[in-house]
């Protein structure tokens, strides 16, 4: 059974140890930030915020771990998934492991940004689609301006349940 969220914000731990260990945001707008020192900080997201988190580690012989998540900060009372470095957790929209898959996910984000669309505002189902396709080594369908306008129109008209989207 998934736990339920009872707070009003999500905290994400970020770190930057050059050439060894890095965790950073690819996109997302935190509402607060606390710098612990030059290498470590924590950012906070409001409920409903969508953001991408990248985790990378290296050893003596190169990359040992690559991971990309696209996450949605949940509202109080919502169920959530436990995600490393995200306290207490978030809704996982996309979860990719290995550099090849992470690179494909980053390419999907780049393609959305090339259209002039903020990845935070993309249809939540698109992130699930991207993760599913990349997981089976297939290219995801491109996100288009037409699909984005349709998503925004359905949201504006209240024709979708964002929690189910």
Mean pLDDT of all residues belonging to the chain? 90
- In the chain, DSSP assigns E strands to 10-17, 21-27, 32-35, 40-45, 50-59, 62-72, 81-83, 86-97
* Distances from the Cα of 21 to the Cα of 13, 17, 56, 84, angstroms: 13, 5, 6, 14
- Quick one: pLDDT band at residue 4, thresholds 50, 70, 90? low
The two tokens of residue 45 are 């997201």
Query: What pLDDT is stored for residue 5 in this prediction?
Result: 47
Query: What pLDDT is stored for residue 2 in this prediction?
Result: 55
Residues 21, 39: contact at Cβ < 8 Å?
no
**Percentage with pLDDT > 70 across the chain:** 92
Query: What pLDDT is stored for residue 7 in this prediction?
Result: 58
- Quick one: pLDDT band at residue 6, thresholds 50, 70, 90? very low
Cis peptide upstream of residue 15 (ω within 30 degrees of 0): no
- Quick one: pLDDT band at residue 3, thresholds 50, 70, 90? low
Q: How many helices (H) and strands (E) in the chain? A: 3, 8
């Amino acid at each position: 059974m998934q736990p339920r969220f009872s707070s009003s914000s999500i905290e994400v731990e970020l770190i930057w140890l050059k050439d060894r260990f890095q965790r950073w945001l690819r996109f997302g707008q935190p509402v607060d930030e606390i710098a612990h020192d030059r290498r470590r900080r924590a950012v906070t997201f409001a409920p409903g915020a969508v953001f991408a988190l990248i985790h990378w580690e290296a050893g003596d012989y190169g990359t040992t771990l690559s991971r990309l998540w696209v996450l949605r900060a949940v509202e109080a009372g919502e169920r959530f998934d436990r995600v490393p470095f995200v306290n207490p957790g978030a809704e996982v929209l996309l979860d990719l492991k290995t550099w090849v898959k992470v690179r494909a996910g980053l390419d999907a984000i780049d393609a959305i940004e090339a259209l002039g669309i903020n990845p935070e505002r993309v249809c939540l189902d698109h992130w699930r689609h991207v993760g599913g396709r990349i997981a089976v080594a297939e290219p995801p369908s491109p996100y288009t301006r037409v699909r984005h306008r349709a998503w925004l129109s359905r949201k504006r008209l209240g024709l979708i349940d964002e929690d189910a989207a």
